[in-house]
């Protein structure tokens, strides 16, 4: 598919992505045929345990790594066909990145506004001080513009990092464990900033995390297991609708907010949720008998149930 033929409603299209890391005596498969579609303007999260492949996927979306096989389109651009110069332009013009560790984004001896001026300058934007102050306001830090890194809390440093990621006016914002080094209250505030950026600027935002509590702040959560998309959690009610109910005094906090949907890929493969397997006592490989009943597929496990 050419860039012009790509559906313009989609920001990300991953099809059968494979990533194999090779060393002299070792071969590690990080992605095993992963499929994923993210619509333009979507705010979504990707969750998974350590080693599931979520960080590998994020690096590919950011142009920091290349797949071993498969298909990867971002904003209609085929990243597998990019040369090095095109990758540089992609990272400069299309994508922004927020890391978990602030040291990768910030220079300790500069003030907040000076930290932001550097990427603004590299993006060839005029009036870099004006643009830097505008970005600080977007993340709610106008009053800390002159503060140096040592004078900012961890959450404030992360907000400066978000402002830096927005310096090139990206269409896609990738965030790697953005709340991993802050407390729960600060994490909630950072996620509210992402919601505001998504709503007001229309930026597509992908949050990669191991924290399932993020699902309360986004409308779609994709779970990755063993290098494949295993399931999706879809919000039963949109986040804004839920907040209006809470403000109105309707207590829906005990209600399950999301519904889990198991993903079936084009070859018919699916991953049974681990909770189900544990309940059935399935701890290793197991043979399954399938049965079609009207519009349902029934799986009969041969393994013994735990007592």
Higher pLDDT, 10 or 2: 10
Strands 95-98 and 172-176, bridge-based pairing: parallel
Q: Worst-scoring range by mean pLDDT, 108-117, 157-166, 225-234?
A: 225-234
Short-list 274, 223, 233, CA closest to 47: 223
> Is 90 exceeded by the pLDDT of residue 181?
no
The pLDDT value recorded for residue 27 is 85
> Is 60 exceeded by the pLDDT of residue 63?
yes
- Phi first, then psi: what are they for 282, rounded to 5°? -85, 110
Of all residues in the chain, the percent with pLDDT exceeding 90 is 38
Q: Please, what is the Cα angle at 64 between 131 and 102, to 5 degrees? A: 50
CATH number for the region 40-62+84-267 comes to: 3.40.50.300
Mean local confidence (pLDDT), 5-27: 83
Contact 48, 207 (CB under 8 A): no
The pLDDT value recorded for residue 159 is 92
Mean pLDDT for the chain?
82
The pLDDT value recorded for residue 284 is 67
The pLDDT value recorded for residue 184 is 83
Residues 175 and 213: their CA atoms lie apart, in Å, by 16
Higher pLDDT, 291 or 35: 35
Mean local confidence (pLDDT), 116-124: 82
Mean local confidence (pLDDT), 13-23: 91
> Is 50 exceeded by the pLDDT of residue 253?
no
Contact 3, 78 (CB under 8 A): yes
Residue 243 confidence class, pLDDT cut points 50, 70, 90: low
> Is 60 exceeded by the pLDDT of residue 251?
no
Give the domain ranges of the chain. Answer: 40-62+84-267, 272-307
Total-model pTM: 0.80
The pLDDT value recorded for residue 1 is 42
Buried residues in 45-58 as b, exposed as e (16+ CB within 10 A): bbbbeeebbbbbbb
Quote the crossing angle between the two packed helices 184-201 and 154-165, to the nearest 10°.
Answer: 20
> Is 80 exceeded by the pLDDT of residue 287?
no
> Is 90 exceeded by the pLDDT of residue 256?
no
> Is 60 exceeded by the pLDDT of residue 4?
no
The pLDDT value recorded for residue 306 is 46
């Amino acid at each position: 598919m050419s860039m012009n033929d790509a559906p313009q409603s989609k920001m990300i299209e991953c099809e059968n992505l494979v990533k194999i890391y090779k060393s002299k005596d070792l071969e590690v498969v990080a992605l095993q045929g992963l499929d994923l579609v993210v619509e333009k303007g979507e705010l979504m999260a990707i969750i998974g345990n350590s080693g599931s492949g979520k960080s590998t996927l994020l690096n590919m979306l950011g142009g920091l790594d290349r797949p071993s096989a498969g298909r990867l389109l971002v904003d209609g651009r085929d990243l597998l066909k990019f040369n090095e110069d095109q990758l540089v332009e992609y990272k400069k013009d299309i994508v922004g990145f927020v890391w978990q560790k602030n040291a990768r984004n910030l220079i300790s001896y500069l003030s907040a506004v000076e930290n932001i001026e550097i990427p603004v300058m590299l993006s060839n934007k005029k009036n870099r001080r004006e643009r830097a102050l505008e970005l600080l306001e977007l993340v709610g830090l106008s009053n800390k513009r002159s503060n140096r890194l040592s004078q900012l809390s961890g959450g404030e440093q992360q907000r400066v990092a978000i402002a830096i990621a927005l310096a090139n006016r990206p269409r896609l914002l990738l965030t790697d464990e953005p709340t991993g080094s802050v407390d729960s209250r600060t994490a909630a505030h950072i996620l509210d900033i992402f919601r505001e950026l998504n709503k007001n600027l229309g930026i597509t935002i992908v949050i990669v995390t191991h924290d399932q509590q993020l699902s309360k702040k986004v409308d779609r959560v994709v779970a990755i297991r063993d290098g494949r998309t295993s399931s999706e959690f879809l919000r039963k009610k949109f986040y804004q609708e839920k907040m209006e109910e809470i403000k109105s005094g309707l207590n829906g906090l005990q209600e399950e907010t999301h519904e889990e949907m198991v993903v079936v890929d084009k070859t018919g493969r699916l991953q049974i949720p681990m909770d189900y397997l544990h309940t059935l006592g399935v701890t290793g490989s197991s043979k399954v008998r399938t049965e079609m009943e009207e519009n349902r597929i029934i799986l009969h496990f041969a393994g013994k149930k735990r007592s």
